[in-house]
Amino acid sequence: MMAGLFLLAVLFALSLYVLAPETPATRGPILLASFVAILLGSLLGILFLLRWLLRPYHQLLGEAQRASVADEMLKSQDEAEFVLETFQSVVTQLQEQRKALEQLSAEARERANSAEKFSERIVASLPSGLIAFDGAGLSMAINTPGRALLEVNGSALGEPYQQLFSNQEELTKMVGDCLETGTVYRRSEIQTVSPDGRMRRLGATIAPIELPPERGPRGALCLLTDITEVTELREQVALKNNLESLGEMSAGLAHEFKNAIATLQGYAQLLQSLELNDKAQAAAGSLLNEVRNLSSMVTAFLNFARPQPLQLDQVSLFDLVRDCTDELRAKIDVEVDPSLSVRADERMLRLALLNLIRNGIEANPDGCVVVSATRDDSNVVIKVRDSGPGIAAADLQKIFIPFFTTKAKGHGIGLALTHRIITQHGGTLTAANAPDGGAVFTIKLSRG
């Protein structure tokens, strides 16, 4: 605008100068008029320039008059001072609001950090193993119980679930299904084998979790619990109840069998006393041997079906194991502290150890049986280990059932009787396969 007025005044002056006659009488007034026109245009331009420059000032003044803080400042008649005070007040309010925002932001960060730490403490305090996977199946978090169950270290973070669960095919399949389809598994039981050859049972709960977009569409949360002791205890209770019922039902029948067998044994001995030919004598001898074997089996079954009350006393394990090795006269290594003792029925505990050691010898007659005993906080642990082929995985849960045997000449009573004796003492008896071969029977008895 200012430039336009100035140009207009200049053009007007030039027009007068060009159109006016070239005489001294007329050129002087024309030049004066041109000068006045240019001066007026310049003044008008300067006025418009000042107005344009002061426009932000007037806008700020108007906003300050409309602000809530303007009531007290209107007492000042100086507009510049009023605007300055208003500007300073606005700046002060902005600084206070910035401080308030910074405080709120700090509190939000503190709450977020506190929530994160609290979540980490919860995860770390869980007695169950927790493993979280992202959408690609890579581990995001593993707590201490989870590392213990999987037997891995801190470097397991970022590894695929196929590698973490390389020894648990069933668990690998479940996590894969959860990641692909969102399938939920609740309290599933999984059977695994530990590096020492011991069967372990894990309770698994697997569910999908929502993740940030960069982690993938869906993750998986896996909770693992070692329920081996619980399931073993449950099976032992069930086995004990079944054996008690079996014993009560068959004790009378076994007693009648024993009476009949005694009669057969008498007739067999009578036949041997008669003057018979060689074939008849051989048949009578074979009959007598079979009757004696049958009588031995029925006697063992009666001992199992009708347990006698325990005569508890303090028993030296070293002396007891030595007596067993002297009786069996086989290659047996004894690793027992001479000072170790347990409160038990010496006769019954001796019978149980004899059965276990004898089974170890029969598993590999040319091998060696190792009998060891240690103590922990509350128990005495006795282990009988052989160098045989071990026990088939399908038979580990059956070997303590009466009449179950894998031997060509066996009644299946020895291990069942041993299990009942240990259970009657308030202890536990378990079987497993050693990593380098052979079977291991473990007895746990209270130190008393």
State pLDDT tens for residues 357-372: 988 888 888 888 899 9
**Short-list 356, 390, 396, CA closest to 373:** 356
Q: Considering only residues 331 and 121, tell me which one the structure prediction assigns the higher pLDDT.
A: 331
Backbone region of residue 216 per phi and psi (left: phi > 0; alpha: psi in -120 to 50; beta: other values):
left
The yes-or-no verdict on residue 147 having pLDDT over 60 is yes
DSSP 154: G
pLDDT (tens digit per residue) in 148-194: 777 776 557 778 888 888 778 888 888 888 888 888 888 888 777 76
205 three-class SS: strand
For residue 443, what pLDDT is reported? 92
In the prediction, which pLDDT does 114 show?
65
Higher pLDDT, 72 or 82: 82
pLDDT (tens digit, 9 = 90+) per residue, 226-280? 887 777 777 777 776 766 666 666 666 666 677 777 777 787 777 777 777 777 7
Query: What predicted TM-score, i.e. pTM, was given to this entire model?
Result: 0.45
pLDDT digits (tens, 9 = 90+) for 60-75: 656 655 654 444 444 4
Burial of 271 (0-12, 13-18, 19+ CB in 10 A): middle
